[in-house]
A and B are shown apart, each in its own frame.
Chain A
Amino acid sequence: MVSHNETAVPATATPTPAKRHPWWRSAFWFLLPSLVIMTVFTYYPMVMTVFNSLFATNLTGAAAKFVGFGNYVTIFSDPLFFKSLTNTFIFVACDSVGVILLALLLARLATARIRGAGFFRTAFASTMGVSAAAASILWIFLFNPSVGLISIGLKQLGFGNVNILTDPTGAMIAVILSSIWMGSGFAFLNLLGALQSVPQDYYDVASLAGWSSWRQTWKITIPMVSPTLFFLIVVEVIGAFKTFTQIDLITGGGPDNTTNFIAYKVYQDAFNYRNIGIASAEAIVLTVIIAVATWIQFRYTERKVYYQ
């Protein structure tokens, strides 16, 4: 038999603690590059936004006069601000629900054991690799009143000549559709991974016990993927609140500000009207709304989430 040598432990394998550098010294150097980048591009702008929101600013964007909460009073008495708030809330609700439902459906289809499922997996996930700008251009073509596939399709269905992007409701639907399409790839990929990690045994037991596939989905699949669903809802809602590119490229906030969302209004006030103080105050309001929305989700939705 092999006998274990129990005395062969080297006596001085590690240097004594006194000779080592303090742990934080090397940690500091490793963290420094990202600290610099974060400071320049995130922390400093954050602080400056709060600062600017309390000032009237001149055309160069520099703080000119302290106005306290004056900017906030101004934006909350601006009907356009409320309109963009309402638009944003409608969009966030439709977009995040739409993205998650579509992604769930696609992920469920892609886990079916059929020939060619691999192709669809790649196809469904591929919207993740398309930039919002490129995707917006693509959708502008689709909605084009004379050559767009969607417009032609609607005409064939008997809706006549519709210019979706100049119709108030149509423009909102167009923005929502294109955003759902853009967001579905990321959500799909996450849900696919979650679905594939649900053990087949659960479904075997369920089918022996006579559970319908609908019941299996609600009682097994949804609870098992609930951590992923919760993560996606939080991320999608935050992302939807910040939607900008599609608006800027597809509708420009129009027609008649029906697709003007807060993030877009911040941009307009800051760079079109050169009113940095007002824009900063709006940005702060948006941040607070996102924070509250996220807090509500953690407070009320997370309780239904099952973590393994």
Chain B
Amino acid sequence: MAIQLTHLTKHFGDTPVLDDITATINEGEFYVLVGPSGSGKSTILRIIAGLIPATSGDIYFDDKKVTDAAPKDRHLAMVFQNYALLPFMSVAENIRFGLHNLHLSTADEDARVADALQMVHLSDLADRKPKELSGGQQQRVAVARAIATQANLVLMDEPLSNLDAQLRTEMREELVELHKALKMTLIYVTHDQTEAMTMGERIMVLNDHRIQQVGTPLELYNHPQNAFVATFIGSPKMNMFTVTVDAAAKTITLPMVDEDGRPALIPLPAGIPSGTYQLGVRPEKVRLSLASASEYDVPVTVVNVASLGRASNVAVKNSDVEFIADIAEQFPEDAAKAFVTFPTAAADLHFFAPDTGLAVTSAAEKAGVTDGIA
């Protein structure tokens, strides 16, 4: 089922919650709504479910307008963050709970429950009460209740937030596989950009009640349309510097000093007009070495080394500007000084207008980016 949202707005009293949300979600798509707390993503989900009304705007399922339809007439299933398993009902009863609307025979209901439990690998636990299950198992029951309805549209509201890190990673994969097998339209709300990036086919980034950008994970990562998306997507987050561009001299002046105490310059690779910008550089594009290799290297003091084993996130500082270099090797934890080499490719330097935060792109930047391994 394809979902269309047209100019949705929502106010709670005088408080705006959603502002002009327009989007199309394709049939069978794994669509993620991501944003910080209070950005309105759960509200969108609840409006789609019909649990709360929109202040204005419309919702279409395929070409049918459902804006005013009751929740039960929308034929969708929903998975909640706290699983919403009734504590006095067994696992099987909780799954059957979601089937009420379908008016199935008892035999059909039993079959649906058994199938759903098998899909989430919990067939043995049908008669247990929720409190006898682990958090991960409870989460599977909540998913089983949704898939047992065989609804064409499943909504998930932060379903993995209550799980520990390892279980969350496992469940991410399982949900993606489940979606591949069942091919329902899945709208998934999360505040965790890693979850959004790893699971979503397309992602809507929300902030301040508005859509910031919609795109595939790599579109968002490589071509953030504004400074919010640039810093929200990616971990560790993109470094941001206030810089001055001199188009004639083809230089970027960083808010740092070189070894001689003069303003640090790096070459400007593409046609950006002169002026002040926010420059975004991904931490993994910042190279770090113990000895200077080029005239454009910037000397830094090492503030902190977070060793991940296979890589290191090194916090460095120059002239009170602290930023992160994410290097794919182990960095000496006792190093006090180092040299930073900023990227020179247009694709790796993201310019944003200082007032609006909107991306200022050059043709060369667009051209230089390849989605994944080219």
**A interface, CB within 8 angstroms of B:** 1, 199, 201-202, 204-211, 220, 223-224, 306, 308
Q: Which of B71, B82, B307 contacts A201 (CB 8 A)?
A: B82
The smallest C-beta distance from B303 to any residue of chain A, in angstroms, reads 11
Taken residue by residue from 285 to 305, chain B's Cβ proximity to chain A (1 for < 8 Å, 0 otherwise) reads as: 000000000000000000011
CA distance A201 to B74 in the complex (A): 17
The smallest C-beta distance from A150 to any residue of chain B, in angstroms, reads 41
Q: Which of A202, A208, A306 contacts B71 (CB 8 A)?
A: A208
Asked if residues A205 and B87 are in contact (CB atoms below 8 Å), the reply is: no
Asked if residues B84 and A202 are in contact (CB atoms below 8 Å), the reply is: yes
Chain B residues within an 8 Å CB radius of A201: 80, 82-84
Chain A residues within an 8 Å CB radius of B77: 208
The answer to whether the Cβ of B78 comes within 8 Å of any Cβ in the partner chain is: yes
Chain A residues within an 8 Å CB radius of B145: 205
Q: Given A1-B304, A201-B82, verify A209-B87 contact (CB < 8 Å).
A: no
The smallest C-beta distance from A228 to any residue of chain B, in angstroms, reads 14
Taken residue by residue from 53 to 79, chain B's Cβ proximity to chain A (1 for < 8 Å, 0 otherwise) reads as: 000000000000000001110101110
Asked if residues B82 and A208 are in contact (CB atoms below 8 Å), the reply is: no
Chain A residues within an 8 Å CB radius of B100: 209-211
The smallest C-beta distance from A196 to any residue of chain B, in angstroms, reads 16
The interface centre, meaning the residue of A1, A202, A208, A308 with most chain B CB atoms within 10 A of its CB, is A208
Asked if residues B84 and A1 are in contact (CB atoms below 8 Å), the reply is: no
Asked if residues B86 and A208 are in contact (CB atoms below 8 Å), the reply is: no
CA distance A202 to B306 in the complex (A): 43
Q: Which of B78, B87, B304 contacts A204 (CB 8 A)?
A: B78
- B79, closest chain A residue (CB): A205
CA distance A35 to B32 in the complex (A): 63
Asked if residues B84 and A199 are in contact (CB atoms below 8 Å), the reply is: yes
Taken residue by residue from 97 to 130, chain B's Cβ proximity to chain A (1 for < 8 Å, 0 otherwise) reads as: 1111100000000000000000000000000000
Chain B residues within an 8 Å CB radius of A204: 46, 49, 51, 71, 78, 80, 84
CA distance A254 to B99 in the complex (A): 58
Number of interface residues of B (CB under 8 A): 29
Q: Given A202-B86, A204-B51, verify A209-B80 contact (CB < 8 Å).
A: no
The smallest C-beta distance from A288 to any residue of chain B, in angstroms, reads 34
The smallest C-beta distance from B170 to any residue of chain A, in angstroms, reads 24
The interface centre, meaning the residue of A210, A224, A308 with most chain B CB atoms within 10 A of its CB, is A210
**B interface, CB within 8 angstroms of A:** 46, 49, 51, 70-72, 74, 76-78, 80, 82-84, 86-88, 97-101, 145, 149, 304-307, 333
What is the number of contacts between chain A and chain B, taking CB atoms within 8 Å?
59
Asked if residues B101 and A209 are in contact (CB atoms below 8 Å), the reply is: yes
CA distance A187 to B306 in the complex (A): 57
Task: Tell me the dominant secondary structure on chain A's binding face.
Answer: helix
Asked if residues B98 and A209 are in contact (CB atoms below 8 Å), the reply is: yes
CA distance A202 to B51 in the complex (A): 12
Q: Which of A209, A306, A308 contacts B99 (CB 8 A)?
A: A209
Asked if residues A209 and B51 are in contact (CB atoms below 8 Å), the reply is: no
CA distance A210 to B306 in the complex (A): 51
The smallest C-beta distance from A19 to any residue of chain B, in angstroms, reads 44
Asked if residues A208 and B76 are in contact (CB atoms below 8 Å), the reply is: yes
- B76, closest chain A residue (CB): A208
Chain B residues within an 8 Å CB radius of A205: 78, 80, 84, 97-98, 145
CA distance A206 to B70 in the complex (A): 12
CA distance A1 to B145 in the complex (A): 45
Please provide the 8 A-B residue pairs with the shortest distance between their CB atoms, ordered closest to farther.
A210-B101, A210-B72, A201-B84, A306-B88, A209-B100, A201-B80, A207-B71, A205-B84
The smallest C-beta distance from B101 to any residue of chain A, in angstroms, reads 3
CA distance A308 to B88 in the complex (A): 8
The smallest C-beta distance from A131 to any residue of chain B, in angstroms, reads 39
CA distance A210 to B104 in the complex (A): 13
CA distance A209 to B80 in the complex (A): 14
The smallest C-beta distance from A61 to any residue of chain B, in angstroms, reads 52
Asked if residues A207 and B51 are in contact (CB atoms below 8 Å), the reply is: yes
- B78, closest chain A residue (CB): A208
Chain A residues within an 8 Å CB radius of B305: 1
Q: Given A1-B304, A1-B305, A204-B78, verify A209-B72 contact (CB < 8 Å).
A: yes
The smallest C-beta distance from A259 to any residue of chain B, in angstroms, reads 41
Chain B residues within an 8 Å CB radius of A202: 84, 86
Contacts A201-B84, A202-B84, A205-B84 known; list 17 others, CB within 8 Å: A1-B307, A199-B82, A201-B80, A201-B83, A202-B86, A204-B49, A204-B84, A205-B80, A205-B145, A207-B70, A208-B71, A208-B72, A208-B74, A209-B98, A211-B100, A220-B86, A224-B88
Q: Given A208-B77, A209-B97, verify A1-B306 contact (CB < 8 Å).
A: yes
- A207, closest chain B residue (CB): B71
- B73, closest chain A residue (CB): A210
Chain B residues within an 8 Å CB radius of A199: 82, 84
